[in-house]
Structures are given as structure tokens and as C-alpha cells.
Amino acid sequence: MVFASTWAHLLQEGLATIVIAALAYLFISNYPETVSWLSKEERSYINARLKADSDATHDEKFTWAAVTNAAKDPKPTIIKDMGYTAAQSQLLSIPPYAAATLFTIGWAVLAERYKRRALFTIIASSLAIIGYIILLVNKHPTQKPGVSYVGTFFAAMGIYPSVALVLSWPAINVSGQTKRATANAMQISIGNLGAVIGTQLYRPATSPRYVLGHSVALGYLVGNVIVVSTLWWLLARENKQKEEFLAASPQTSGFHDSEEDLKLGDRHPRWRFNT
């Protein structure tokens, strides 16, 4: 009976999401020109800001070629098991999440100010790596809960900023609206597989140390540092190649000069990747 009730709740929540999405389709506009409650001056102002930021104001038609281009483009449970009650564990989970919130906002501001997504992602991931190492080396979490609690701080302060920065990276580096939408969808779809894997890694039988789950998380974080570092190097190299091309061909047209220039997207010589 409990099982049936749980599934009923899941279906109700899923249905609510579908209904809200359908209603949102009627109210959310694609471009400033299609928003009825904006004045002409407001539309011009928004368009100017969007044009200066990216190609978001370009009324691009959907093409499968852009989809192909995107495809080819290279804690409460832990605290509870320390010996605290469920209510205490919920309260003790607040400080790590609060710290994670502050670090996420801080890293986002710094990354945007210095145009350095990769550097701050690596720093954030390194903090999380320290956190999981602390959790793994503490062989007696119920006897030394303070040690594991410190580990959850480092893990939270690293994971959440890292996820936020990684999610925003394709949005600012992929040009061509269809290609960008496809890249973002692919990223989120693949990322959501982590939730499926996570339910199989953090099992009650592995408490209170959760060696399997922590080890896999640590491995993924190390992999994240390696992948982000590699991507940083590749994007920086491509930016340098574009600068060399422009130095040899200064007459190259601007990014917004023509329809053909916009179609090139992030392949345009004047497009610069945010590293």
C-alpha cells in the first residue's frame, strides 16, 4: 500500500510539471519583439544588450545540421549516520548548504568578472575532492563525527559551484541557437544519469562510511578536473589560432555583419571562447 501511494505521488508531481510546462509555452516568448507588454524602447534596450552579449537576438530557423554540430563538438543521510537523530541531522545539514550557496554565488561572480570558467571550476572541484578525501579517511565517523562534518562542508562548497559553472559553460561558448540548445540539452540529459547511478551507490548497507559512493564521487571529481583542464587548453588554443588568423586577415567581417557570418556561429574568426 505504501508502495502504491509513493508511485501515486510521483505521478502527481510529474503531471504538475507537464501542466506547468504546457502553460509556460503560452506565456514565455522567444524574442523581445514577441512580448506584448514591453514598450518599443524596452525592446530596443533588451535587443542591444543581447546582441552585445551573444547571438541570442538572431531569429534562427531550426536545422538538423546544427543539432549534428552540437553532437560532434568536442548530505543529511551522512550526518544522520554519524549518530544524530533525523531532526538533528536536518538542522546540521543547513550550515554546509548555506556555505555552498555563498560559494556558488561568489564563484559565479568571480568567473564572470575574470571570464575564467575553467579555473574556478577546477578550484571548486578541488575543494570537493578534499571533502571526499576527508570523508574516506575517517574510518570511525560515528566516533569522530566532527571530522566527517568538516568533509561535508568542503564537499558542498566544491560540488555546487562546480555544477553551476559547468552548466553555464556551453551556454556562453556555443553559438548558433539550435546548436546551443542541443548542447545544453545533451549536457543536462547526460548529467541526470548521475542521479540514477547515485541511488545504487549510496546504500544503507554501506553506511556509515559509504566507501563505494564516496570513492566513485571522488573519481568523478578528479575526472572533472582533467576534462575541464583539457577543454581549457583546447579552447585557449583555438582562440589563439583565431587571433593569428585575424592578424593575417584584418579585413575579416564582423560576427553580426551578415546572415552568413551568424551561421558560422562559434566557428567565426571573431568569436572568442570563454575559458
- What is the b/e burial string over 90-115, where b = at least 16 CB atoms within 10 angstroms of the residue's CB? eebbeebeebbeebbeebbeebeeee
52 pLDDT more than 70: no
Q: Classify residue 41: in a domain, yes or no.
A: no
46: in domain: no
In a domain, 51, yes or no: no
Percent of the chain whose predicted confidence (pLDDT) is above 70: 78
**What's CA 268's distance to the chain center, in Å?**
25
Q: Is residue 84 part of a domain?
A: yes
Integer Cα distance of 191 and 184 in angstroms: 10
Average pLDDT, the chain: 80
- Provide the grid cell at 182: 542541443
122-171 pLDDT tens trace = 999 999 999 999 999 998 887 888 888 899 999 999 999 999 999 888 88
CATH number, residue 103: 1.20.1250.20
Instruction: Report how far residue 265's alpha carbon sits from residue 177's, in angstroms, rounded to the nearest whole number.
Output: 9
Residue 74: which pLDDT band, with cuts at 50, 70 and 90? Answer: very low
Binned at pLDDT 50, 70 and 90, residue 73 comes out as very low
CB 161 within 8 A of CB 124: yes
Q: How far apart are CA 62 and CA 146, in angstroms?
A: 54
Residue 126 lies in a domain: yes
Domain assignment of residue 17, yes or no: no
Q: What is the pTM of this model?
A: 0.70
> Quick check: is 214 in a domain?
yes
Long-range contacts made by residues 256-265, C-beta under 8 angstroms, separation at least 24?
256/51, 256/55, 262/55, 262/58, 262/60, 262/176, 263/176, 265/55, 265/66, 265/69, 265/174, 265/175, 265/176, 265/179
**Top-confidence range, 19-23, 203-207, 215-219:** 215-219
Q: 139 — phi, psi (to 5°)?
A: -75, -15
Helix-, strand-, coil-residue percentages of the chain, each rounded to 5: 75, 0, 25
Q: Which grid cell sits at 220?
A: 568523478
- Give the domain range for residue 102: 65-267
Of the candidates 155, 160, 166, 162, the one whose C-alpha atom is nearest the C-alpha of residue 190 is 166
27, part of any domain = no
Q: Per the structure, how many domains does the chain have?
A: 1
